């Protein structure tokens, strides 16, 4: 059973993808200048967590962490 869900809306409509507690789910939103990667996963204690990074795409951009934490906490 899926634990994580992701949706993407673009030119061809919306799609949904899923991930388990073991796999997590990772998304990329990219431009010609780089990309943003969002990884949602369960940590070793079973907490749902996220990590957001700026990353390279097709040789452009930088690798830089933006944010990370537990989902549902401020």
The 10s digit of each residue's pLDDT in 18-70 is 999 999 999 999 999 999 999 999 999 999 999 999 999 999 999 999 999 99
Residue 1 reports pLDDT greater than 90:
no
Domains in the chain: boundaries: 21-70
Residue 47 and residue 68: Cα distance in Å, rounded?
13
Residue 3 and residue 19: Cα distance in Å, rounded?
6
Q: What is the pLDDT of residue 74?
A: 80
Residue 5 and residue 39: Cα distance in Å, rounded?
12
What's the predicted TM-score (pTM) here? 0.89
Q: What is the pLDDT of residue 7?
A: 94
């Amino acid at each position: 059973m899926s634990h994580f869900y992701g949706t993407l809306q673009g030119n061809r409509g919306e799609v949904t993808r899923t991930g388990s507690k073991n796999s997590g789910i990772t998304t990329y939103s990219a431009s010609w200048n780089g990309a943003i990667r969002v990884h949602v996963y369960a940590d070793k204690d079973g907490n749902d967590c996220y990590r957001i990074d700026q990353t390279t795409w097709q040789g452009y951009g930088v690798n830089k962490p933006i944010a990370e934490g537990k989902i549902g906490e401020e």
